[in-house]
Amino acid sequence: MKLFSYSSCSTCRRAIKWLENNDISFELVDILKSPPSKEMLISASELYGHRKYLLNTSGAIYRSMGSDVVKKMTDNELFEKLFIEPRLIKRPFLFKSSKCFLVGFKEEMWSEKLLRNSN
């Protein structure tokens, strides 16, 4: 299991603490140095049902681009942009398997997927 995280992200720190408190082993990956692959991003988008769930809409880069620009991007353009500018990816980004991605940290969702579900 890989947790793509950003060291100054308080939500990422909460997720790390939650994983540690629940004795869940994971590989911590700096999302800026080694972002999720385009394939991972595409799979997560398909699993969530829409690419918008992958976007860090509160970040400065997203706000400077504007939602209209992002909406006009093709999927290929967007996934390429997310890969080269990982600060656009909502964090933390957890990859457990091709059928289990968690984007952002919501304790209820993480509990359901990681403590009660074996995907």
For residue 54, give the nearest of 95, 112, 96, 110 by alpha carbon. 95
For residue 41, give the nearest of 72, 86, 9 by alpha carbon. 86
Whole-number percent of the chain with pLDDT over 70 = 97
**pLDDT for position 62:** 93
Q: Which domain holds residue 109?
A: 2-115
- Kindly indicate the confidence band of residue 117, based on its pLDDT and cuts at 50, 70 and 90: low
pLDDT digits (tens, 9 = 90+) for 68-106: 999 999 999 999 999 999 999 999 999 998 889 999 999
What's the distance, CA 71 to chain centroid?
A: 19
**3-state DSSP assignment of residue 101:** strand
Average pLDDT over the chain reads 93
Structural domain count, the chain: 1
Locate tokens 């299991």: which residue? 1
- Kindly indicate the confidence band of residue 116, based on its pLDDT and cuts at 50, 70 and 90: confident
H or E element in which residue 69 lies? helix 67-72
**pLDDT for position 110:** 96
| Whether the predicted model's global pTM rises above the 0.85 cut | yes
**pLDDT for position 43:** 93
| CATH code at position 52 | 3.40.30.10
**pLDDT for position 118:** 53
